[in-house]
Amino acid sequence: MRFSTQTLLLQLGVVLLVVLLSGVVHAWLVYDRIGTEAENQALTLARTVAADPDIRTDVQDISKEEGTPPPSVLAAGSLQAAAEAARIRTGALFVVITDETGLRLAHPEPSRLGERVSTDPSVALAGQEITTRNTGTLGPSAGAKVPIYAPGTTGGTIVGEVSVGYSIESLTKSLARDIVPIALTAGGALLAGVLASFLLRHRLQRLTLGLEPEEISTLVHDQVAVLQGVDDGVIGISADGRISVFNAAASRLLEVPDATGQDWATAPVPGQLKGLTRPAPQDAEAVEVVAGGRVLVASARKAWHRKEDLGWVVMLRDRTELQQLTRQLDAVGTMSTALRAQRHEFANQLHTIAGFMSIGQHEQAKEYLERLSATGPLKFPVEQAELLQDAYLQAFIGAKSVEASERGVALRIGPETLVRGHVADPQDVTTVLGNLIDNAVNAAVAGSAAERWVEVELLDDTAHDGGTLHIVVADSGDGLGGIEPEDVFTEGFTTADHPARPGAGQGLGLALVRQLTRRRGGDVRVLEPGSTGGPGAVFMASVPAVMDVAGGQADSRKDNSG
């Protein structure tokens, strides 16, 4: 049996029990009230009969005689006539008059005259009025007993008592007349309770989506295990715009505290995420978002249960490491292409040497080898590469020079370059330097200057600034034009129609560079906005703690000793 059905039956049982108990209590209160009214009415009639002067005189006269008159005499006497008249007039069950010993002087049944009353008259004969509910010779009744005093006295000699009673059966008939509204009230209450139970059952099924308590408990445990166990960020937005789910991965990726329960429109999350949930009812396309120094891929999907709108689910996936690896692989691929070209050149050089040796031109072969030793076996198309002493920077910028050369841009090293240390954090240096060079190459290609070039100046401070690498990149493009310098660091800002290579993001590079450098305690800014026709914009970035301080100091000591 389903839980909702069990709940319905339990509610119906409770409602029925409450209605029955209420009806019984109400009926009992009505019955008790009718009985009390009957007792009061009997007491009033008994007092009236006991106060009648003729009755008091007749009872006193009989009490003074020796013995009790026979029933035939009593039946024809004035007391019997007065008592019966009062009984018939008021509809009482009985009106009984006794002497001071409790013998009947008046009774509805003449055959019982002269006999002792069936109920105890001692309280009334002692001078006290009393109301009673008991069973006598005429059946159950609610009545009263009142003493009869001698004529001309109040509270004097008691010469008898008057008993008046109303039948319980008449009280029951009165209750039967009053029970109809009670039953109608109980029936109405029962109907209202049944209707409320059905409405509550329907609402319970709607709120629980028809799930049983065991299923809900299992669902909650599974939800907690899944949401807290995955590396992807999950944000659930209910149909009314409140955040219902905000797992630990989402809090970590966005670097914001748990926002569960907050309004989605005012939550401290990037605006691009909020924009994903605006189109409805279709799902939004995935976008790249920079948040907390990370590149995230965000997607949103509309959630439905049958035809009920449950809101939105926003998924966040971290692509920071993937983009860093992609950039490094691009550099490695570029270097591999250059090495294949240089291998062909190196083979030609070996053939030349072999030719000199075969014709006996040993001196010319020696001179040729000396020239090769001076220039090196490999030569990247980057100007003033000798200013770079770090092998990683030489390889990376050399690879970038090959890529730039293929696009018709000359990459050169600025004359103020001085790098004495060694790169200790290649990933961050790759991200910052690679983005700046790529943007500069794109600007040079899109520029109107006849000569296309990109100039990079590098300066490390390993002695005083915690291994900071300062980077300045300039190009021959047309500059920023009328764009505000700070706008270029806004997430999603781009002036390119198409990415320079397949799979590259748009509008994320400079925003990522700024967040990365600021997280390390540095910064990136525009030194010169540039002008149309060149030179273009000049960017400067400071990246602390990416250079090997010990290596730099050792090189400094070596240079000083030299």
HSE-up (13 A, CA, CB side) for residue 298: 26
Stated as kind and residue range, the H or E segment containing 197 is helix 168-207
Averaged pLDDT, 455-466:
79
**pTM assigned to the model:** 0.46
Averaged pLDDT, 141-154:
84
Amino acid 457: pLDDT: 93
Averaged pLDDT, 49-69:
85
Residue-wise burial string across 50-85, b where 16 or more C-beta atoms lie within 10 A, e elsewhere: bebeebbebbbebbeeeebbebeebbebebbebbbe
pLDDT tens by residue, 282-330: 566 677 777 766 778 788 888 877 777 778 888 888 876 666 666 667 6
What DSSP string describes 251-310?
Answer: HHHHT----TTSBGGGSSS-HHHHHHTSS-SSPEEEEEEEETTEEEEEEEEEEEETTEEE
Higher pLDDT, 411 or 378: 411
Residue the block writes with tokens 């069990």: 6
What value does the mean pLDDT of the chain take? 79
Give the chain's length: 562
Higher pLDDT, 135 or 469: 469
Would the pLDDT of 113 be above 80?
A: yes
What DSSP string describes 69-89?
Answer: --HHHHHTSHHHHHHHHHHHH
pLDDT tens by residue, 345-399: 677 767 787 887 888 888 887 777 777 655 544 456 677 777 777 878 887 888 7
Q: Where are the alpha helices (DSSP H) in 318-450?
A: 320-358, 362-375, 391-406, 426-446
Amino acid 326: pLDDT: 66
Would the pLDDT of 489 be above 70?
A: yes
Amino acid letter for position 326: T
Higher pLDDT, 73 or 346: 73
pLDDT tens by residue, 198-236: 888 788 777 777 777 777 777 777 777 776 667 788 888
CA neighbor of 557 nearest in space, from 423, 422, 424, 463: 463
pLDDT tens by residue, 422-431: 888 887 888 8
Would the CA dihedral through 326, 327, 328, 329 be positive or negative?
A: positive
Peptide bond into 499 cis (omega under 30): no
Stated as kind and residue range, the H or E segment containing 285 is strand 284-291
- Most confident by average pLDDT, 34-38, 65-69, 159-163: 159-163
C-alpha to C-alpha distance for 410 and 540, rounded to whole angstroms? 20
User: By the 8 A CB rule, do 83 and 76 touch?
Assistant: no
Peptide bond into 279 cis (omega under 30): no
Cα end-to-end distance, the chain, whole Å: 93
Stated as kind and residue range, the H or E segment containing 26 is helix 3-50
CB count within 10 Å of CB 45 equals 23
C-alpha to C-alpha distance for 546 and 426, rounded to whole angstroms? 8
Amino acid 279: pLDDT: 62
Amino acid 376: pLDDT: 47
Q: Which residues contact 555 (CB under 8 A, 6 or more apart)?
A: 389, 420, 421
Higher pLDDT, 330 or 61: 61
